[in-house]
Amino acid sequence: MSVVGIDLGFLNCYIAVARSGGIETIANEYSDRCTPACISLGSRTRAIGNAAKSQIVTNVRNTIHGFKKLHGRSFDDPIVQTERIRLPYELQKMPNGSAGVKIPSFFTDAERRSVMAAAQVAGLNCLRLMNETTAVALAYGIYKQDLPPLDEKPRNVIFIDMGHSAYQVSVCAFNKGKLKVLATTFDPYLGGRNFDEALVDYFCEEFKTKYKINVKENSRALLRLYQECEKLKKLMSANASDLPLNIECFMNDLDVSSKMNRAQFEQLCASLFTRVEPPLKAVMEQANLQREDISSIEIVGGATRIPAVKEQITKFFLKDISTTLNADEAVARGCALQCAILSPAFKVREFSITDLVPYSITLRWKTSFEDGTGECEVFCKNHPAPFSKVITFHKKEPFELEAFYTNLHEVPYPDPRIGSFTIQNVFPQSDGDSSKVKVKVRVNIHGIFSVASASVIEKQNVEGDHSDAAMETEASFKNESKDDKFILLLHFSLQSAPSDKQDRLNQTIKKGKVKSIDLPIQSSLCRQLGQDLLNSYIENEGKMIMQDKLEKERNDAKNAVEEYVYDFRDKLGTVYEKFITQEDLNKLSAILEDTENWLYEEGEDQPKQIYVDKLQELKKYGQPIQMRYMEHEERPKALNDLGKKIQLVMKVIEAYRNKDERYDHLDPAEVEKVEKYISEAMSWLNSKMNAQNKLSLTQDPVVKVSEIVAKSKELDSFCNPIIYKPKPKVEVAEDKAKANSEHNGPMDGQSGTETKPDTTKDSSQHTKSSGEMEVD
């Protein structure tokens, strides 16, 4: 089972995988751990990552990048329209109104569901959508051995993530085995690309004056300028001196050049640097912390490498910042750790994570009062998540709950709606009173809000006093109307209800049994992909994957033909030159040239089988030449090996004839068979060598290397068992027994009987020993 964490950034992606040895950020097919978030669409196939990025300039209209801001937004959304100005490709309005395809902490429900849908289309089993700063906090805290115990004051750490398109800050409290996010703030429209845009605007104006060209009218030139400005920005982070900007054949065959230093850059981006401090101040206020309460400040994200950004952070907290985390890979590593914690395939140190809700969530419903609606805040900003709560309504008919965000003033977002949830099958009680409906709302592990369940509490009146009446001890303020009752969010127990309300509350509680009946809920989520549309996307993705595979096979077949043409033509002038006649050389050269021309003309776009057949046709001409060359190269070694084996056997036979004691045990008849076989082998070898020597290199060989090798193996299997037959072992047991008897004979007048060993005992011991060995 693969357990991975994916950091889907605006500019780049990182993927970390959990293995038995720990967390590892994996490399792509280019041996690079950083993969561009880019897709290039061709007529037949797609290029993804590095291959797509290389086509940004050459295939401007069909290379898609910078789509992270489009998640879960409608085509008419002002943010989407703003992004359209920056993008060199066109966005098309989809039938459902959507604009496109780790997540930032400021992502709303629609954006989170969009990412979940994209993961489902890609065939991924998403265990959790994780806020980026929370993932960084997990990567930081899980390896810390010096965290305070649970009963002590937690260690507060600030995490700052400024990537290419967004700026996020969170403060987290750490205890041993525990992480709690206290507050999070953000500026979704401040990141590295803002600094790039400032540079691009500056140089566009300079080139307009200096070279009389309007760069923004040429999308290719503008993209090249963006790429060069990004490089220049990174260089200025490490060097304060003047740095050149040179672009050859930039526009209208002009070479352009300029320069800039860090001081100029900081002056140019002064307004952007002032936006660094407000989120820092806000997160401290929301967490009710002072600067002295902060133990450490950890920064990640590419834009935090800009010296002026670091300076602003240091200036606010009045302490040095820490760069112990990998600025690029920390998010992916944290996600992989969370995935390993959730997966049953890994055993990970216990570490609890409490995240939070980035926005306040409010429910609204219709009533029969003059204002016509009621509402309550079910989750406030920075409320712990995942979390659920139960709200009680008193209704006589089905009703609709509308969920929406109430503090989106922090983020420009024109549509705060989350969705509507209709509670069905609600009817009056048998006595005509309103039904008590309990609605469970929750924010799940992905940070997505939903009405999880609803149930009606049905009363069943019985005689006498029953303990089940205790289930009615939870009560709420109720506002009476002619035909409707609803509750506010304030809940009280009977003991804590105000005295002037106590009698009234008690009157609503009757002795009797109650039962809970689940109610169906119909959801209508804002910009939610319908299941049919999602299934069609999954089906289309499967088709595209298959098309990519078939196209790769087609291109591989085409490349094989092209490679064969170039490789064989090169060898015809070198190593194969002696193995082909001049007539055949001219003929084959013409065929290769015709094939090359065909590849770049009518053969440019042919089915796979056409290329396979073309390659086989070429090999019919080329393989005989290649075979003659290979036979010529390998034949001497094969002949030499066979000759050595024949000589070795002949030496053994000669030693046998000379009565060598090493071979005096061999059977004469078998030796004679070996001698006859060797004679035949020598005759076969000499005849083949003589016949081969009479042929030219342009002719096919008389004997192939494979035949010589087979002959050599045949010789080994026939001769070796005979000539290397081991000598039989000589029995020496009687000699040893005789020697022992003489050594233990009668001495000093002792009789032979007295000195005779107890052979019976020895025999029994020997028998017992043998028996034990057999048992063993």
CA distance 501 to 444: 36
Task: Check residue 505 and give its pLDDT.
Answer: 42
Q: 25 and 169, same structural domain?
A: yes
Task: Check residue 480 and give its pLDDT.
Answer: 34
Place of tokens 């085509």: 75
The average pLDDT across 458-472 equals: 47
Q: 390 and 345, same structural domain?
A: no
Residue 20 host element (H or E): none
Task: Check residue 673 and give its pLDDT.
Answer: 92
Q: 691 and 589, same structural domain?
A: yes
Q: 428 and 374, same structural domain?
A: yes
Range of the domain at 449: 359-461+513-529
Task: Check residue 100 and give its pLDDT.
Answer: 29
CA distance 654 to 256: 88
Q: Of the given ranges (65-79, 132-146, 284-298, 603-617), which has the lowest mean pLDDT?
A: 65-79
Last-in-domain residue among 257, 274, 291: 274
Residue 572 has pLDDT above 70, yes or no: yes
Last-in-domain residue among 274, 308, 340: 274
- Crossing angle, helix 705-723 and helix 668-693, to 10 degrees? 160
The average pLDDT across 624-630 equals: 93
**Cis peptide bond prior to 307, omega within 30° of 0:** no
Q: 321 and 371, same structural domain?
A: no
- Which letter, b or e, does each residue of 135-144 get, where b requires 16 or more Cβ atoms within 10 Å of its Cβ? bbbbbbbbee
Q: Pairing mode, if any, of strands 352-356 and 178-187?
A: parallel
Residue 592 has pLDDT above 90, yes or no: yes
User: Quick one: pLDDT band at residue 483, thresholds 50, 70, 90?
Assistant: very low
Q: Please write the tens of the pLDDT for every residue from 711-735.
A: 999 999 999 998 888 888 766 555 5
Q: Write the CA distances from 219 to 39, 172, 193, 223, integer angstroms.
A: 18, 43, 17, 6
Residue 766 has pLDDT above 80, yes or no: no
Q: Is residue 745 part of a domain?
A: no
Task: Check residue 736 and give its pLDDT.
Answer: 52
Residue 432 has pLDDT above 70, yes or no: yes
Q: Counting every residue, how long is the chain?
A: 776
Q: 629 and 547, same structural domain?
A: yes
The average pLDDT across 568-589 equals: 92
CA distance 448 to 428: 32
Q: Is residue 743 part of a domain?
A: no
Residue 758 has pLDDT above 60, yes or no: no
Domain containing residue 364: CATH number: 2.60.34.10
Q: Residue 366 half-sphere exposure, CB side, CA atoms within 13 Å?
A: 11
Q: Residue 421 half-sphere exposure, CB side, CA atoms within 13 Å?
A: 21
Task: Check residue 145 and give its pLDDT.
Answer: 87
Q: 160 and 31, same structural domain?
A: yes
Residue 216 has pLDDT above 80, yes or no: yes
Task: Check residue 61 and give its pLDDT.
Answer: 86
The average pLDDT across 736-745 equals: 51
Q: Please write the tens of the pLDDT for every residue from 62-71.
A: 898 888 888 8
Closest C-alpha to 430, from 396, 400, 463 = 396
The average pLDDT across 38-43 equals: 87
Residue 346: how many other CB atoms lie within 10 Å:
15
Which residues does 17 contact at the CB level (< 8 Å), separation at least 6? 2, 3, 4, 5, 23, 24, 25, 26, 336
Task: Check residue 366 and give its pLDDT.
Answer: 83
Q: 374 and 341, same structural domain?
A: no
Closest C-alpha to 723, from 657, 654, 649, 655 = 649
User: Quick one: pLDDT band at residue 334, thresholds 50, 70, 90?
Assistant: very high
User: Quick one: pLDDT band at residue 252, thresholds 50, 70, 90?
Assistant: confident
Which residues does 486 contact at the CB level (< 8 Å), separation at least 6? 365, 367, 374, 393, 394, 395, 478, 479
User: Quick one: pLDDT band at residue 410, thresholds 50, 70, 90?
Assistant: low
| Count: domains in the chain | 4
Place of tokens 């990025």: 53
Residue 775 has pLDDT above 80, yes or no: no
Q: Is residue 657 part of a domain?
A: yes
Q: 566 and 449, same structural domain?
A: no
Instruction: Tell me, rounded to whole angstroms, the distance of Cα 550 from its chain centroid.
Output: 24
CA distance 184 to 161: 11
Q: Is residue 16 part of a domain?
A: yes
CA distance 653 to 604: 67
Q: Of the given ranges (244-248, 441-445, 637-641, 740-744), which has the lowest mean pLDDT?
A: 740-744
Q: Is residue 559 part of a domain?
A: yes
Check residues 689 and 497 and name the one with the higher pLDDT.
689
CB 171 within 8 A of CB 156: yes
Look up residue 364 and give its amino acid. Answer: R
Alpha helix positions (H), 573-607: 582-599
Residue 751 has pLDDT above 90, yes or no: no
Task: Check residue 382 and give its pLDDT.
Answer: 83
